[in-house]
Structure 1
């Protein structure tokens, strides 16, 4: 099964990398740097490296070093005849960051269907007690607080549709509020219809801003707030907000986008983007049994 999946990854990514390379040739070159650098092809192509990363994040392994040295090198040598050492592989990982991000942006993300869910999840980079002595993300990550307590790291903001497909994502420092206007504006550019969130997104100014763009923000209410005038369908969909939490759970526990062993910021980004991309290849995602019909209403399917 894994061998079939690696073939699927490689075919898809190799086609994209070839297209990306052809488009890159037409980009005008800026002033050349005084520092000379070699621009030769490596033994292991970018599409092969990206395929290996996606296979790791597909959910069968938890430690990348053990995965590469004990599984890829020993059992996938016929699929990757030009494998390099683990140290060299890590040294070259930053070169695949840009093509991975572009693939996720233009090929991996889904499309809004009018029913959208938003949530944020924390990404710890170290234990909170080691915050002051942490060096890798010093000046980059920050201290924040969630319902689970204090943490040091980042926040990943996600919007998914009713099929569990990623629509947009945004990475911020840990102390950035979920209702940040700049973050919400950037994430909802291609979103329409209804956007369901938890109490952390309660904001009159945010709701009015999104309404101007054709998006209705629907959130749970606090105990001291007046009851909302929601339709039966909206009330049901609001109770299904656990969908986006299930997506966050799969990203962390299956795709392993969070761990505290990073040795560089670029390595953290490669791990995050490849995990999000691997999730897009999942054949079965958390979803709701609903479908829009021609009357712009919602028809609930039988469970």
Structure 2
């Protein structure tokens, strides 16, 4: 019923067709309901498995269920509605213990294929080749960028989610997609987000304070490195301990939905459904089970 209510309130404006066939026998609302209900309750991550379950066990609820090919085609056309639902879930079900003044920033790869010499052929308008230093992996695909409110003793609660091609620099994406909405925050991030000039400007203009592990300076004298090593190590360890929960959030998200593995996506819309649909399913699980 929740998906039906959300569809009537806002989702239909992101996917409804304004044509002579705007009211098919099997509606877009039913497609979204099946996708999220089966994905949430049965933990299925593949659209084929979701459709097979609905065909086998939900015929009484959905007597006009269409074929898998039609179901998949129509679901892929609703990427905008799925993205809107993901945003609304994160905004409407925000836990009360979120620390409003502290956010954690990071990104994770969404992989359509991997290998240094591999050239991806899927969703080239939004995906390209990049490198993940954490996994020491060259891959073709996307990056999922996330900004989350810190919660002591719990996983962070995402407040912003953005997608970018794999080759995009994390700091540039963060600047353009996330920073306009952040004011008077303590921002904890990885080394790649370091930029002294940019963060000094942010501190003056918007009172944002930036914290990241210390990045060694190339060409610095060895004596200088050794002199500051102890203090730098303690500072980096303290920052990393605050950042650690968002890495746990990514691990939990991938464990529940297998979101990083997008090798079966065959189109731009399919890749968007794979990514934002799994984010929505994961947070439906959080909302209704915790």
TM-score normalised to structure 1 length:
0.74
Q: Which residue in the other structure is 2:265 paired with?
A: 262
Kindly tell me: are residues 210 and 235 of structure 1, through their superposed partners in 2, closer, same or farther at Cα, counting changes over 3 Å? farther
Unpaired segments of 5 or more residues in structure 2? Answer: 218-224
Match of 1:215 in 2: 208
Structure 1 pair 93–22 and aligned structure 2 pair: CA distance change class (3 A) = closer
Q: CA deviation at 1:50?
A: 1.8
Cα-Cα RMSD: 3.1
What residue number does 1:82 align with? 64
SS at match of 1:40: coil
Aligned-partner Cα distance in 2 for 1:23–1:142: 30
Q: Relative to 1, partners in 2 of residues 1:51 and 1:236: Cα closer, same or farther, differing over 3 Å? A: farther
Q: Deviations over 1:57-106 (max 9, x none)?
A: 4372243312321x221122233333111111011113322222223234
The Cα shift of 1:186 comes to 2.2
Matched, 1:66 2:52: no
**Structure 1 residues 43 and 22: CA distance shift in structure 2, 3 A:** closer
Asked if the contact 2:109–2:142 (Cα under 8 Å) also holds between the matched residues in 1, the reply is: yes
> 1: distance between equivalents of 2:63 and 2:157?
34
Give the drift of 1:161: 1.2
Structure 1 117/81 Cα, relative in aligned 2: closer, same or farther at 3 Å?
same
- The answer to whether residue 147 in structure 2 is matched with residue 155 in structure 1 is no
Tell me what 2:24 maps to: 42
The CA distance in 2 between the partners of 1:94 and 1:172, in whole Å, is 19
Q: Distance in 2 between matches of 1:189 and 1:221?
A: 25
Take 2:137 and 2:87, find their aligned partners in 1: how far apart are those partners?
Answer: 32
Q: Which residue of 1 aligns with 2:105?
A: 118
> Number of matched residues?
259
Q: Distance in 1 between matches of 2:90 and 2:25?
A: 27
Deviation of residue 173 (structure 1)?
1.0
Are 1:136 and 2:122 matched, yes or no?
Answer: yes
